[in-house]
Structure formats: structure tokens, C-alpha cells
């Protein structure tokens, strides 16, 4: 047996995850071009099968454009609850390989198998075991990348899709990455890429010519990490604990150019209801909220504060009306967004007064009790079994599973 690697990181990347689940559950869809949309009335491709991708269909593309490229594409409404269950099954099964697991998103996970090598075998054997584990848990294929750091493992997983396996020994990582454009690495988008391009760094191999101190001055610790990432030496550990959220929000797309105040208020109240419910579900409160509408020229709105930290949808709805009065001038809008900023655990809130002496304590207790009953009923019988009357006319577009959804912790929601 060869010597164990000093670090051994695996990245699991599910292939066209949502579309693959639909093809698994509906055999008549296998081998056919499939485009997943948010409900039957959705107009944007959430993801597509590889058969559709072969025609140029891509995530984020309008359905109309997708049909021009691929006239035979089949529109399938998303089933986020089903996708969440499959994701949970996969992540739970991967814990049988190693407890050092980082759920990166709904369809990706890092595994640190450094300490499993003598038990499980050489790297390629472990990588194949990971693929088999995913297949047994879900019936789905996945692509696996393996190397000595997270960035190289993630890049490796993209090299042979679908159903691929790419193992890059740590001592080969720098040479394999050298001709790769830096913007192909996870975390280096257009802004950082442009900064690097101005300094003659186009490929990962170019990075060694740039002093690490220059990146550190501009980006701090992130700059040092970027410099090491390009050379196959990303020091970032696999994070096994899900960090508390820095924000928690919901948004929804409206018909383009919506100008009816009543319709906009309905969408805003819908999102306020969801944000409040989600805060209570995770025992969180927030003091500041971003409330916005998207117009052709950008976002309208801003950050608003409540008098005390809250999880009450009614207070959020009052802020929404205030935002409309202050910022909206009747222009057409196409999206709403409400985001709780820096939510904190409810148990950690310090009270200025004792509970029995706080102003409005009795009213607050009644509101909390009412919320508890409503949330319990909605969990059992459906999300909007009890809801404000205005939400009877809410959008029929179903929930969408967020890209950052994770089974466990604050992000377990759709």
C-alpha cells in the first residue's frame, strides 16, 4: 500500500441534481431533454438535464430561449421537498465514510478522509467508495474530485461530468492547475479576476509571479488564500459545523413591470410571513431588515429597524408599507425581497425590564402564544393553512430550494 497523503479531501458533486431526480422518479423522462422550472407557470430554467445541456440550455435561461435552442425540451415543475429529502439521504450516508463532512450546498459536499486512509485504502479506492455510497443512498450518479485541498478537489470534480472520478495527488496539483484560468477556481469571480488580470495573472500558473503580500494588502487573509489556492495549496479546513446565518431572507419574482400596489403588497406580505415563520422556527430574532423591490435600473428600498428585535411578521409587514411609501413611485417592478440581517438567538436577547414588567409584556405573550399555535398548525397541515387573508391571492409559484440549502442547522429550509 502506498503512503497516505498528508491531506486527502474529497468533493462530491451531484450531476444535474434536480433533473436527475425527476428522471429517476419518472422513467419516461430518461434520455430526454428536461428543464426544471419553479412550478408549471415558471419561466426560468432552474436546472436542466444533460440531454438539454447538449443543446446549449443553461441554468438561469428563460424557458422561451431554451425552447428555441431545444424545441423538444420538457418543462417539469420543481419539487423542492423531494430534492431536500434526497439531499438529506445522501449527506447522512456520506457520514458512514467519515464524520469529517462539510455540506457545501444541496448537491455538494466535502469529505476530509485524511485520517481514514489506513482504514479505507488508497485515495482512488476511497473515491470509488464515496461514489458507491451516493449511488446506494439515492440511486443517482455523482462526480467526485479528490486531492490534497478543497479548491483542487472541487476543480477536479468538474473535469469528467457526468458520473466522473478525478484523483489529483497533492504533489501534482500545482502542475495540473497551472494552465487553468484563475476564474475557474471556486471563489474567484469577475471582481477578483479583473484585479488579477490587471496584474498579469490570467492562469493559476501566473499566480506564483505575483507577490503574496500584494494580494494580502488588498484582500487580507482572503488574498493569502487565493494565492495558495492557485498553487494547489488551499489551507481551508473542511468545516463540519454549520455556522449561524449572517442573514435570513425570502424573495419572489413577480410578473415583469408590476405596478399595482395591491399586488406588490401581497407579494411583500407573503415574504414577511415566510421570514417571520422561519425566524421562529429557528428561535431567532432580528432588529434590522432589508426590504426591497427590483426595478429595471436596480433595487428600490433599504434597511429598516424595528424598536426591538422581532420575529413577528406583522411588524415586518408594517415596515414593507413604510418602504413602499418612502421609496416606490409607481414604477414597474419584477421582484420582492425581505432579508433579516444579523439574526440572533432569541434566548440571547437581553431584556431591559423583567419579563413581567416590560412594556406591553402581556400583549407580547399573547402574540407569541398565537404564533406558536399558528406555526404548529401550519407545520402539520401545510404552510399557509393559517395565514393573513391577503395571502389567499398570493402567487401560485411554489417554494424554491435555495442553492445554499443544507440538511441541518439554520439553512434547512425551502
Helix (H, G, I), strand (E, B) or coil at 74: strand
CATH of 17-82 given 3.10.105.10, 3.30.310.50, 3.40.1170.60, 3.30.830.10: 3.40.1170.60
The helix (run of H) or strand (run of E) holding residue 279 is helix 261-281
Q: What is the pLDDT of residue 36?
A: 94
pLDDT at residue 9 tops 60: yes
Taking a C-beta distance cutoff of 8 angstroms, is the pair 293, 328 a contact?
yes
Q: How many CB atoms neighbour CB 193 within 10 A?
A: 17
Which one is catalytic: 102, 108, 184, 197?
108
Mean pLDDT of 364-381: 71
Assigned fold of 247-411: Dna Ligase; domain 1 (3.30.1490)
Determine the Cα–Cα distance for residues 178 and 175; give it in Å rounded to an integer.
5
**108 classed as catalytic:** yes
**pLDDT score at 413:** 52
Q: Which residue would you say has higher pLDDT here, 70 or 44?
A: 70
14 or 256, which is more confident: 14
Q: Dihedral of CA 147/148/149/152: which sign? A: negative
pLDDT at 254 (0 to 100):
84
Residues 76, 24: Cα–Cα separation, whole Å: 13
pLDDT at residue number 250: 87
Q: Do residues 232 and 177 lie in contact, with contact meaning Cβ atoms separated by under 8 Å?
A: yes
Q: State the Cα–Cα distance between residues 223 and 219, nearest whole angstrom.
A: 5
Which residue, 26, 25, 18, 20, is CA-closest to 80?
A: 18
| Ordered strands of the 74-77 beta sheet | 47-48, 34-37, 74-77
Query: What are the pLDDT digits (tens) for 179-200?
Result: 999 999 998 988 899 999 999 9
286: left (phi over 0), alpha (psi -120 to 50) or beta: beta
pLDDT at residue 387 tops 80: no
Q: Which residue has the higher pLDDT, 411 or 321?
A: 321
User: What is the model's pTM?
Assistant: 0.75
Same-fold call for 9-13+95-229 versus 247-411: no
At 278, is the pLDDT very low, low, confident or very high (cuts 50, 70, 90)? confident
Q: Cβ distance 273 to 387 under 8 Å?
A: yes
Separation between Cα atoms, residue 308 and residue 181, nearest integer Å: 48
350 burial via Cβ count (<10 Å: 0-12, 13-18, 19+): exposed
Q: Is the pLDDT of residue 217 over 50?
A: yes
Q: Which range has the top average pLDDT, 123-132, 306-315, 401-410?
A: 123-132
Rounded Cα–Cα distance for residues 215 and 226 (Å): 8
Residue 332 is predicted with a pLDDT of 94
Confidence of residue 350 (pLDDT cuts 50, 70, 90): very low
Model confidence at 3, in pLDDT bands (50, 70, 90)?
confident
Q: Which of 184, 216, 219 is nearest to 203 (CA)?
A: 184
Q: Cβ contacts of residue 17 below 8 Å, gap of 6+?
A: 47, 83, 87, 106, 107, 140
Query: How far, in Å, CA of 177 to CA of 158, rounded?
Result: 13
- Contact between residue 304 and residue 322 where contact means Cβ atoms under 8 Å apart: yes
Mean pLDDT to the nearest integer, 316-320: 93
Higher-scoring residue by pLDDT: 402, 41: 41
Q: Identify the three-state secondary structure at position 313.
A: helix
Mean pLDDT of 32-42: 88
Give yes or no for a contact between 180 and 204, defined as CB atoms under 8 angstroms apart.
Answer: yes
pLDDT by residue (tens digit) across 115-164?
Answer: 999 999 999 999 999 999 999 999 999 999 999 999 999 999 999 999 99
Summarize the confidence of residues 14-24 as an average pLDDT: 96
Provide the β-strand partners of residue 249: 339
The Cα 155–Cα 11 span in angstroms is 9
Topology of 9-13+95-229 in CATH?
Alpha-Beta Plaits (3.30.70)
Query: pLDDT tier at 356 (50, 70, 90 boundaries)?
Result: very low
Give yes or no for a contact between 166 and 160, defined as CB atoms under 8 angstroms apart: yes
Q: Domain ranges for the chain, please list them.
A: 9-13+95-229, 17-82, 247-411
DSSP 44: B
Calculate mean pLDDT across residues 245-261.
Answer: 86
Amino acid at each position: 500500500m502506498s503512503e497516505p497523503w498528508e491531506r486527502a479531501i474529497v468533493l462530491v458533486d451531484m450531476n444535474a441534481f434536480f433533473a436527475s431526480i425527476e428522471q429517476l422518479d419518472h422513467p419516461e423522462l430518461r434520455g430526454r431533454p428536461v428543464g426544471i422550472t419553479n412550478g408549471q407557470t415558471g419561466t426560468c430554467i432552474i436546472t436542466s438535464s444533460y440531454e438539454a445541456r447538449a443543446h446549449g440550455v443553461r441554468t438561469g435561461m428563460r424557458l422561451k430561449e431554451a425552447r428555441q435552442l431545444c424545441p423538444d425540451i420538457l418543462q417539469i415543475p420543481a419539487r423542492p421537498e423531494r430534492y431536500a429529502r434526497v439531499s438529506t439521504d445522501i449527506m447522512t450516508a456520506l457520514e458512514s465514510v467519515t464524520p469529517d463532512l462539510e455540506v457545501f450546498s444541496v448537491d455538494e459536499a466535502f469529505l476530509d478522509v485524511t485520517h481514514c486512509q489506513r482504514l479505507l485504502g488508497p485515495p482512488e479506492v476511497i473515491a470509488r467508495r464515496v461514489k458507491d455510497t451516493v449511488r446506494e443512498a439515492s440511486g443517482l450518479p455523482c462526480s467526485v474530485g479528490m486531492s490534497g485541498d478543497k479548491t483542487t478537489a472541487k476543480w477536479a470534480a468538474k473535469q469528467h461530468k457526468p458520473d466522473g472520478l478525478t484523483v489529483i495527488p497533492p504533489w501534482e496539483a500545482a502542475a495540473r492547475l497551472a494552465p487553468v484560468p484563475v476564474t475557474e477556481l471556486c471563489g474567484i469571480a469577475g471582481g477578483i479576476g479583473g484585479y488579477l488580470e490587471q496584474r498579469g495573472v490570467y492562469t493559476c500558473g501566473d499566480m506564483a509571479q505575483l507577490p503574496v503580500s500584494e494580494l494580502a494588502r488588498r484582500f487580507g487573509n482572503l488574498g493569502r488564500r487565493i494565492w495558495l489556492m492557485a498553487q494547489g495549496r488551499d489551507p481551508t479546513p473542511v468545516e463540519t459545523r454549520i455556522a449561524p446565518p449572517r442573514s435570513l431572507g425570502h424573495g419572489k419574482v413577480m410578473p415583469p413591470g408590476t405596478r399595482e400596489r395591491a399586488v406588490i403588497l401581497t407579494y411583500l406580505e407573503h415574504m414577511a410571513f415566510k421570514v417571520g415563520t422561519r425566524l421562529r422556527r429557528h428561535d431567532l430574532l432580528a432588529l434590522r431588515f432589508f426590504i426591497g423591490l427590483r426595478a429595471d435600473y436596480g433595487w428600490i428600498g433599504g434597511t429598516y429597524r424595528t424598536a426591538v428585535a422581532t420575529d413577528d411578521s406583522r411588524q415586518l409587514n408594517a415596515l414593507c408599507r413604510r418602504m413602499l411609501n418612502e421609496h416606490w413611485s409607481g414604477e414597474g417592478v419584477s421582484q420582492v425581497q425581505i432579508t433579516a440581517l444579523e439574526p440572533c438567538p432569541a434566548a440571547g436577547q437581553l431584556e431591559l425590564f423583567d419579563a413581567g414588567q416590560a412594556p406591553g409584556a402581556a400583549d407580547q405573550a399573547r402574540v407569541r402564544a398565537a404564533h406558536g399555535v399558528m406555526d404548529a398548525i401550519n407545520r402539520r397541515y401545510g404552510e399557509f393553512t393559517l395565514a393573513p387573508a391577503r395571502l389567499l391571492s398570493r402567487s401560485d409559484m411554489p417554494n424554491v430550494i435555495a442553492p445554499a440549502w443544507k440538511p441541518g442547522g439554520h439553512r434547512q429550509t425551502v
